[in-house]
Structure 1
């Protein structure tokens, strides 16, 4: 219990909650880096997933590329980006976006492709055109999987954004890196705990979005398929 008490004591110290290196500032930096990477990944992956899923063309290439990107070590991507672009926010974002794109792309594609063909045929029989079928039928039905991909990417990005500290741009990882250099285990654990708290907050946010954006019937169906 001594280690738990040490972590609690570190978190309770007022100097860790104020100033440019305090927990609120580091927390805000971490949220900013994570949100920026997730937004960039969504801008890239969601349209690509919708297009390939709706048309049925290019899906194999997109999924193969996404699976290849999943195999890339984030710290390796960061190292290459730093060598190519130098220190700063850009290489960190490159590494985090590369991490976030695959789950968003794959889930968006699978969500659209998984829509019952009989429903799309019925929609076209009612006079809907391709774009209308996509936005009025396929996207709403695919929304559970799209949100799942975004949630997965968000949690991965939040957990991995600690690498920002290794190139000197802050975030909650700063507490972990500084704790390692100073051999202060309580500071390392406190920083890790703060990252976990942020990841739990992200999970709660996506649970709220799920309730707001997905019809109850679709929520029940996706929950049933997930437990099947």
Structure 2
């Protein structure tokens, strides 16, 4: 074990290991890792939050919400990546970008959809009725009442989705020339015993990044959600 730790330390001390421009650098791979994760989350949110908000407001799609979360739990992330890589290669698409991106978006859809739906459904009906009584349109009720009040639950779903994306980008390095920090793990396995130090360093880097992202989402939630709503959200159901 001490030899592996020494190898990992030596690997971390290589001259190009902390470069922002060299693909061998940890900062370079970290930016790549976060870029894939953040872009996937934004696309998934744009695809799921509006329809989930409308369905929950109109009290439709309860069965759909339940089915989505169950499907999301059953889909193997690596299987999705392989499937989209195969389809992209058959259709002459860029296999370094599209397979991983589409797979990540698909993985982020269930928690975002179900948490948005659950958050809006759990909004106090009296608040909605009061807004409707003062002349708010249905669209205004969704955007000014239901969306802000369900924000803590939606952000909880975004946190779960993003952490899942961070973990899956690393797996994607198996079929992707990028793959962020997971590139080190894959390259280390390819070297056999000589790559154990790189595998350990890459694994620790992924764990540290996930912990930092968890902390960042906690800060975002505290900043974006008023304290009263945060307390109230503890009583609301969260379908993760």
The answer, yes or no, to whether TM exceeds 0.5 is yes
Q: Flag structure 2 segments of 5+ consecutive residues without an equivalent.
A: 90-94
Cα offset, 1:123, TM superposition = 1.5
1:52 aligns with 2:71: no
Cα offset, 1:159, TM superposition = 0.8
1:43 aligns with 2:51: no
Among candidates 139, 144, 153, match of residue 136 of structure 1: 144
8 Å Cα contact 2:115/2:157 also seen in 1 = yes
8 Å Cα contact 2:16/2:24 also seen in 1 = no
Q: Matches of 2:234 and 2:59 in 1, distance apart?
A: 26
User: 3-state SS of the aligned residue for 2:37?
Assistant: helix
User: Matches of residues 23-38 of structure 1 in structure 2 within 5 Å?
Assistant: 23-38=26-41
8 Å Cα contact 1:165/1:177 also seen in 2 = yes
Match of 2:211 in 1: 200
Among candidates 213, 217, 222, match of residue 224 of structure 2: 213
Q: Matches of 1:102 and 1:222 in 2, distance apart?
A: 20
User: 3-state SS of the aligned residue for 1:166?
Assistant: coil
8 Å Cα contact 1:77/1:95 also seen in 2 = yes
- Name which of structure 1's ranges 50-59 and 154-163 shifts more when overlaid on structure 2: 50-59
Cα offset, 1:50, TM superposition = 0.7
Among candidates 161, 166, 174, match of residue 183 of structure 2: 174
8 Å Cα contact 1:70/1:99 also seen in 2 = no
Offset from partner CA, 1:110-129 (integer Å, 9 cap, x none): 00000111221121112211
1:12 aligns with 2:13: yes
Offset from partner CA, 1:152-203 (integer Å, 9 cap, x none): 0000000110133112322111100011111222211211111112112211
Among candidates 122, 138, 156, match of residue 114 of structure 1: 122
Q: Matches of 1:83 and 1:212 in 2, distance apart?
A: 42
Q: TM-score, normalised by structure 2?
A: 0.87
- Give the 3 Å change call, closer, same or farther, for CA 50–224 of structure 1 in structure 2: closer
Q: Matches of 1:52 and 1:73 in 2, distance apart?
A: 27
Q: Matches of 1:135 and 1:157 in 2, distance apart?
A: 27
Among candidates 156, 164, 167, match of residue 148 of structure 1: 156
